[in-house]
Amino acid sequence: MKVERGRVVGLIGPNGAGKTTLVNVLTGFQTPSHGQVILGSRISGQSAHRIRRIGIARTFQAGRLFAGLDVVDNLAISGVGLGHSRHASEVEALRILDWLQARHLRGLPTAGLPYTDERRVGIARALMFGPKFLLLDEPAAGMSESEANDLSKIVRRAATEFGCGVLLIEHNVSLVLSVSEHVYVLDSGRLIAEGDKATILRSAVVREAYLGSHAGEDEQ
């Protein structure tokens, strides 16, 4: 697999395909049994903290926000962990919230945030101080179609305005195909297909196993 800065790459596959495991390997939360992760040089096997400092950030399916802190504090902690001052981290947190049009969330406790806002805060935390690569682990899970459409705009803007490479891991195949320039399909830890939207929709393996036999008709 290859992800380039300024581009959105999608990863789809059924439950148990290994998508989250791959994200964990790429971000240092698991050690690969084989293969390599390369960002300039080999980084596989390094700690999650080290990989974040190198420039690879991620979101989590479960959010993993600090429930006892407000939104700005949750973001600022990320900045401090990257070696920035508290003040600089708070300034950056507000800048990111403005970028997400979510400044109204700044003083709210993260405990009890609506699901969509929790997801946005997770993305904001990952974007603190401009990562080179952003890995989004099922950010649209549980979202309505309208909310997913709003998310797709954020994903595109992250790539174009921050210049980071985005790897979008999702069960929402329509979302992935609408926003990604290149898509990989994973099954039981194996890549079974890759290509642009048209290539994925033409693939008999993908259409039968992941998109349904009428997927190509629905997209026309």
Query: Residue 38 pLDDT > 50, yes or no?
Result: yes
pLDDT at 214: 41
11 vs 63, higher pLDDT: 11
Query: Residue 159 pLDDT > 90, yes or no?
Result: yes
Place of tokens 């790897």: 167
d(CA 63, CA 45): 24
Query: pLDDT digit string (tens) for 42-70?
Result: 898 899 999 999 999 999 987 789 888 99
Tell me the average pLDDT across 169-173: 91
Query: pLDDT digit string (tens) for 80-96?
Result: 988 999 999 999 999 99
> Any idea where the domains of the chain sit in the sequence?
8-218
Query: pLDDT digit string (tens) for 96-124?
Result: 999 999 999 999 999 889 888 999 999 99
CB 60 within 8 A of CB 74: no
Q: Which residues, 6+ apart, have CB-to-CB distance to 30 below 8 Å?
A: 21, 24
Residue 56's alpha-carbon distances to 5, 14, 21, 30, in angstroms, are 11, 25, 16, 14
Tell me the average pLDDT across 194-201: 94
Query: Residue 190 pLDDT > 90, yes or no?
Result: no
C-alpha angle 88/157/55, rounded to 5°?
A: 50
pLDDT band at 8 (very low <50, low <70, confident <90, very high): very high
**Amino acid at residue number 97:** L
Please provide the average confidence, as pLDDT, over all residues in the chain. 89
CB 31 within 8 A of CB 45: yes
Query: Residue 148 pLDDT > 80, yes or no?
Result: yes
pLDDT band at 181 (very low <50, low <70, confident <90, very high): very high
Domain 8-218: CATH architecture, name and number where available: 3-Layer(aba) Sandwich (3.40)
With a pLDDT cut of 90, the percent of the chain lying above it is 65
pLDDT at 206: 86
- Three-state DSSP at 137 gives strand
Query: Residue 215 pLDDT > 80, yes or no?
Result: no
